[in-house]
Amino acid sequence: MALPKMLTRAAGAAADAGGVVLRRLQNARIPGAGMPPVHDDARRAVARWRVVTVLVSPDQVGVADDVPRPLADFRDRIEIRVTPAPGDKGTELAARFRGPASDDDIGELRSALRRAKQLLEVGEVLRVDPVSHGRREPTPQGELLEEAATQAPKGGVL
């Protein structure tokens, strides 16, 4: 389904949360347009390594007491792997859950990996909020988009 139509349709169901919209977007392809024939089931998705490549050397990425701060919050719920990336690409920083995890947990892990990468590469996490904007009527579609944008740090394919 095309994106604008998805949003319009989704706006009908104002109860729909932004995270759900984002997850749907990910599978919003025209049939046959680049969709892989097999998708991870929930168990496989939880167990999968989620990886960011960071442009620092492996010894700059902590693995024990000094794991990057956003990942440290997960304590022993996650396993962390640090390996050199090929060529001049730096270091692959991977994490995965040891046990069961919800979609929300996976979203938190995505966000933590992204923040860890930014801390390692630039030293701080880029902020966008609060952003100034003008007057807004609370339309269902606007609310939905707001919620989708709020969820966006935790969304995506990572």
Partner 1 sequence: MKAATWRGTDEVAVERVPDPTLLNSHDVILKVRQTVTCGSDLHLLGGYIPFMRAGDVLGHEFIGEVVEAGPAVANHRVGDRVVVCSFIACGKCWFCTHEMYSCCDNGNPDPGITEAVWGQSPGGCYGYSHALGGFQGSHADYIRVPYADIGAFPVPDGVSDRRALFASDSAPTGWMGADLSEVGPGDCVAVWGAGAVGQMAARASVLLGADKVIVIDRYGYRLDQVERHIGAETINYEQTDVEAELRERTGGRGPDVCIEAVGMEAHTPGGQYFYDQVKQQLRLQTDRPDAVRQAIQVCRKGGRVFILGVFAGMVDKFPLGAVMNKGLTIRSAQQHGQRYIPRILELMERDELRTEHLATHVMPLDRAPEGYRMFKEKEDGCVRAVFEPAG
Contact residues toward partner 1 (CB under 8 A) are 2-5, 7, 22-23, 25-26, 28, 30, 33, 53, 55, 88-90, 114, 117-118, 121-137, 139, 142, 145-146, 148-149, 151-158
Nearer residue to partner 1 within complex by CB, 3 or 42: 3
Q: Is 154 exposed, middle or buried (0-12, 13-18, 19+ CB in 10 A)?
A: buried
Nearer residue to partner 1 within complex by CB, 23 or 77: 23
Compute the Cα dihedral for 78, 83, 86, 92 and give only its sign.
positive
Nearest to 14 by CA among 138, 144, 154: 144
Nearer residue to partner 1 within complex by CB, 76 or 88: 88
Residue 90 Rama label (left phi>0; alpha psi -120 to 50; beta): left
Nearer residue to partner 1 within complex by CB, 64 or 157: 157
For the bound state, the minimum distance from the C-beta of residue 147 to partner 1, rounded and expressed in Å, comes to 11
For the bound state, the minimum distance from the C-beta of residue 16 to partner 1, rounded and expressed in Å, comes to 15
Residue 123 Rama label (left phi>0; alpha psi -120 to 50; beta): left
For the bound state, the minimum distance from the C-beta of residue 65 to partner 1, rounded and expressed in Å, comes to 25
